[in-house]
Structure 1
Amino acid sequence: MRNTLNSLIKKTLIYRYSLQNKELNIDGMTLSNVKDDCFSCECETALAEIIYNSVIEYSFNQFDLTDKDYQKMYARALLSKIRFNPNASDTTKISYGFYGEVLLYCFLAHYYYADPIIARGYFYSPVDKKETAGYDSYHLVESENSIHLWFGEVKFRGSLSSCVHSAIKGLDKVISDDYLSSNVINLEDRLDQFNLKGSKLEEIILAWQENPEINIPQELAKYNMSLSYPILLVYPDKEPNYDDEIKRAVKFINDRYSAQKFKLSINYELFFILLPLSEVKKVKQDVISWIESKKPLI
């Protein structure tokens, strides 16, 4: 990630606190099994700048960005790495999913030190004009004793209820052995595009190629891998006070959803990242405007 972009993220997206927060009397999410994180936005125009500029890093692997003309690569990204049709209606443009996926990339790379296994843009099909179904992020944290697969989800919508319903309705599907296996297998044809060569995950995929009968979740467990599943919610705030807004969001979610146990063979961490905004639609409109005017990149 460009240093200027890292600096902009640091100044714009501010970590406030984690949940449960006893001092502020704010509960954690009943669905989460680790702490949830709450962020605020210092400047929503700067947030739009982050999304607009990060399309490059979201679309291409780091080794593809060395000494390249970013403006030309941005044009390529619009044609082959993200879903964006300049001739579509304003309503359709606002509904595109890349705004949230790009922002999730920024959070994971900057605040959670999770490098992408492969740029999410490689999953877009320019023929079908859509992204391949699956997790919204494929990032990895690999240390000597453990490996965390950061396969997350993001909802960036015009209401909290829409975000929450869409993110939670299929949790039992996405946090399961079958779905995890399918997503790991989905990486098979992209091994030569991996950002992180020689990873243990690569070994498992190669072993599966030799023996498709192996149980992928069992292989992941053998290498002490776990699933980190952040759910990033970007939604309009309703309360003038930030802490009151977080309380509102937590209560809204906890009143409707209780703790679940998921059928997953490896350890997992499920948590929420909350980012309330005053003008969700305006952020997207700024990004659209800059794409169409070909605003210079930072």
Structure 2
Amino acid sequence: MKQPLLDLVNKSIVLEYKLPNKELKYEKSCITHTDKNDDCYKIDDLEKLSKIIYESILYYSYDQYELDGGFHQGMFENAFGQKFKFNHKAKETYKLSLGFYGEALLYSMLKIFYKNDTLISRGYFYDIQKKTEVTGYDCFHLIQKDDNLELWFGETKFWQNGKAAVNDVFKNISKAISDDYLVDTNFATIRQFRGNIEDKTTKIYQLLEDWNKRLITNMVEELNNNNIKLVYPILITYDQHKDGYNHSINEIITHINTKYSTTSFPNIGIDYSIFFILLPISDVKQCKRQIIEWIDSKEPLMS
């Protein structure tokens, strides 16, 4: 990731506070684990957020070894035809509905603020023939600490209505936090594309190579035996409430804790943590429109 983008993210997106917040008397979400806080970020310049997302698409789409020595502007423009369902001739409503806005933002925030390494580019999870993304998580990152490995496989929503975004998350969250989804849907694809993992020295790459050479009858058991944990960050970017930033945060957390207090995850057999990343902004639609304008006009990337 180029320094100008790193600087732009660090200077523009600010961690306002964490939840729970004793001063404001705000709780964290009912599904956020005891070892995590919900993180509330703020950005005051909408155009800078559009720029961050626009620039992040390149790094979200390609692994570092692909980027090394490549013509980045050309690769960036190719990504919309080869890795996303972006149609320059489509109506605005279609372009606004695509998921890469939040996915690219989640990529950069995890990379910069949470010191994640990319496990494998999300761009590989695309069916060229069907021109659709393979079902899966919205990001594939990792943190390796000594013998412990955290797989940061998360989700993002970039919607105008924050509560509607939360509702959509909870439609499938029990499925996302399950052995079937983690192992059968996502690990199967990662194993298929293991050769494209950026860092071949990582524990997970070495394990994938080992697993490929022998019969694995219980993948969950293998994950547990190797101290592998799932971390599930959920980034919600949404229109700020007319009553201000704090109200926008409290409204979402109250909605989660009121409507989804009985949510449980009985179908996951490995250690896991969930937490929310909340980013209320002034105008979701305008943020996306600016990005679309730059994509259609082939706005040059930062050098």
Per the TM superposition, whether the score is higher than 0.5 is yes
Runs of 4+ in 1 over 6 A off after TM superposition: none
Shift of 1:209: 2.6
Q: Deviations over 1:230-282 (max 9, x none)?
A: 01101111143222221111112211111533222221110100001110000
Q: 1:203 to 1:67 in 2, by over 3 A?
A: closer
282, 289, 296: which one aligns with 1:292: 296
Q: Deviations over 1:79-108 (max 9, x none)?
A: 212221001111000000111111110111
Q: Deviations over 1:16-65 (max 9, x none)?
A: 11101111111110121121100011211000001111111011101111
Q: 1:211 to 1:67 in 2, by over 3 A?
A: closer
Amino acid at match of 2:139: S
68, 71, 81: which one aligns with 1:69: 71
What are the residue-to-residue correspondences of 1:88-167 with 2, within 5 Å?
Answer: 88-167=90-169
Amino acid at match of 1:283: C
Shift of 1:127: 2.4
Q: In the alignment, what sits opposite 1:205? A: 208
Q: Deviations over 1:147-199 (max 9, x none)?
A: 10000000111211221111111111111111111211111221111112132
Shift of 1:214: 2.5
Amino acid at match of 2:252: A
Q: In the alignment, what sits opposite 1:267? A: 271
Q: Is the 8 A contact 1:12 1:41 kept in 2?
A: yes
| Equivalent position SS for 2:193 | helix
CA distance in 1, matches of 2:165, 2:119: 26
What are the residue-to-residue correspondences of 1:134-283 with 2, within 5 Å?
Answer: 134-182=136-184, 183-262=186-265, 263-283=267-287
**What TM-score, normalized by structure 1, do the two folds share?**
0.96
Q: Is the 8 A contact 2:57 2:76 kept in 1?
A: yes
Mean CA deviation greater in 276-285 or 78-87: 78-87
Mean CA deviation greater in 18-27 or 234-243: 234-243
Q: Is the 8 A contact 1:12 1:43 kept in 2?
A: yes
Amino acid at match of 1:15: L
Shift of 1:225: 1.0
| Equivalent position SS for 1:204 | helix
Q: CA RMSD in A?
A: 1.4
Q: Is the 8 A contact 2:44 2:281 kept in 1?
A: no
Q: In the alignment, what sits opposite 1:25? A: 25
Amino acid at match of 2:45: C
CA distance in 2, matches of 1:247, 1:260: 19
Amino acid at match of 1:249: I
Shift of 1:141: 0.5
Q: In the alignment, what sits opposite 2:81? A: 79
Amino acid at match of 1:60: Y
**What TM-score, normalized by structure 2, do the two folds share?**
0.94
Number of aligned residues = 298
Amino acid at match of 1:4: P
Shift of 1:68: 2.0
CA distance in 2, matches of 1:293, 1:125: 26
CA distance in 1, matches of 2:58, 2:276: 26
Amino acid at match of 1:30: C
CA distance in 2, matches of 1:82, 1:174: 22
CA distance in 1, matches of 2:217, 2:146: 24
Q: In the alignment, what sits opposite 1:3? A: 3
Shift of 1:119: 1.0
Q: Is the 8 A contact 1:19 1:36 kept in 2?
A: yes
| Equivalent position SS for 1:226 | strand
Mean CA deviation greater in 128-137 or 199-208: 199-208
Percent identical among aligned pairs is 38
Q: Is the 8 A contact 1:39 1:273 kept in 2?
A: yes
Shift of 1:212: 4.1
